[in-house]
Amino acid sequence: MLSMAIGVLWFLVALIVFCGVIYLAIWVIELFIMPIPERVKQGVWVIVLLIALIFLLTVLAGGGMSSFRPFRL
């Protein structure tokens, strides 16, 4: 049970970092290249949320974070 809780906490940390990177990418594209339509931004966030849901369900199903290792060397 403790390993699942730790897995969920690592998932949340990774999700915050991932969302920050996506937000930064959208901001840079809008600032330097061209404005992005609102529907496209909403679509990007829906995809991000679906990816997050898949990883969360993997952690809760007992798969742990072995399938998601952002810092693997």
Q: Quick one: pLDDT at residue 70?
A: 55
Query: Tokens at residue 14, please?
Result: 């990774």
Q: Quick one: pLDDT at residue 73?
A: 46
Q: Quick one: pLDDT at residue 59?
A: 78
pTM of the model: 0.73
Q: Quick one: pLDDT at residue 66?
A: 55
The domain limits of the chain are 2-63
- Over residues 10-68, the pLDDT tens digits come to 888 988 999 999 999 999 999 998 998 999 999 999 999 998 898 888 878 876 555 55
Distance CA 36, CA 61 (A): 37
Using alpha carbons only, give the angle 18, 20, 23 rounded to the nearest 5 degrees.
110
